[in-house]
Structure formats: structure tokens, C-alpha cells
Amino acid sequence: MAEGTADGASENGDVSVAGDSTGAEGSAEGSARAEGTGGPAKLGTGPGRLLLSLYGVFTVAALSRSIVQISTKYHEAPLAYVLSAVAGVVYAVITVALWKGGESARKVALVCCSAELVGVLAVGTLTLADSSAFPDATVWSDFGIGYVFLPLALPIAGLLWLRRSARERAGARP
């Protein structure tokens, strides 16, 4: 059985565990899905697993950074430090949504990846246009240059993965 390669979707859009015969599908269909022959890939599998890992690392990095900055030098650059905390929360929500899977989690991840992209573009543009507004860097400053531009690349990759997984899900429905 291929781990996490194909999962069945229940009527409410939640994803069941591969090989779980308690789902709404019949035993033959459930067996086929458990063997990896049919059904859409779960969000956190394949390329989604890499995204899940990167978002997990970014969650820890952004939240840790912001907690230290807010607790030790908040008065120096409150906007920058709060934005880093917001980025960390967005990363955490995306991480949980990718890990959980299912249609409702996909929608949450889609909204959060879109918000993340808007945030990266807005903060990146503002830091280039008026660097005095951000006396200290945020995760999204200069489009994520301090993180090798991954904050700019991650939401784009996430949106593409979510789009692909939605198409696979739509194609797998009877």
C-alpha cells in the first residue's frame, strides 16, 4: 500500500485515511483507493509534503523570531515585529490545513496562501518604497530576501498545488 497516495473523500469533503473501510465508499472502491488506484492525492502528499515541511519550518522560524522581537525590543519596530507574528500565524494555519487535508482545509489553505501572497507583495513593495517605515526586517521584507525569497515562492507554489489537487479531486468524483 502506498502511504498517503490516494485517500477517499466522504460526502462532506473530508478525507479518510487510506485503507479505512469505515468511509462512505463500498469495500471494492475502498480497496482500490487503498491500493493507490483512484481517488485524489491528499494535500500533504507528493509535492504537498515538501510544501507542508517548508510551511512547518517557516511557522517555527517566523513565530520564534517575532516572539523574541516582541518580547525584547517591541518599541524599536512594532509594525515589523507584529507583521512577522502575523506571517507566522498564516504559516501555521496553512501548515495545519495541508496536514489535515479535505475540501474545507483546501479552501482555508487557498484563502491563506492568497493572503500570504498579497502580504508578501504589499510588505515587499512598502519596504522597497519606504524603508524608514520598517526599521527592522520582517519575514516578508524586500519580498523575503532574508529567507532566500522563499516567502514569495511559497504562496505561489502553494496556490499551484492547491489548484492541481482541486482538479484531481474533481476528476476523481463519480
What φ, ψ does residue 43 adopt, rounded to 5°?
-60, -35
pLDDT of residue 174: 59
CA distance 79 to 101: 33
The residue behind cell 502511504 is 3
pTM above 0.85, yes or no: no
H or E element that contains 30:
helix 27-34
Residue pLDDT tens, the chain, 174 long: 444 444 444 444 444 434 343 444 343 333 333 334 444 557 777 788 999 999 999 999 999 999 999 999 999 999 999 999 999 999 999 999 999 988 899 999 999 999 999 999 999 999 999 988 888 988 999 999 989 999 999 999 999 999 988 887 777 665
Domain ranges of the chain: 1-39, 42-172
Quick one: pLDDT at residue 35? 37
Give the separation between CA 24 and CA 34, rounded to whole angstroms.
14
Contact 100, 17 (CB under 8 A): no
Contact 47/102 with Cβ under 8 angstroms?
no
pLDDT on residue 173? 61
Rounded to an integer, what distance in angstroms lies between the CA atom of residue 25 and that of residue 130?
56
E-assigned strand segments in the chain? none
Give 17-57 pLDDT, tens digit per residue: 343 434 443 433 333 333 344 445 577 777 889 999 999 99
Task: Say what the pLDDT of residue 172 is.
Answer: 65
Dist. CA 93–CA 113, nearest whole Å: 10
For residues 80 and 153, give the distance between their C-alpha atoms in angstroms, rounded to a whole number: 20
**How many other C-beta atoms can be found within 10 angstroms of the C-beta atom of residue 118?**
11
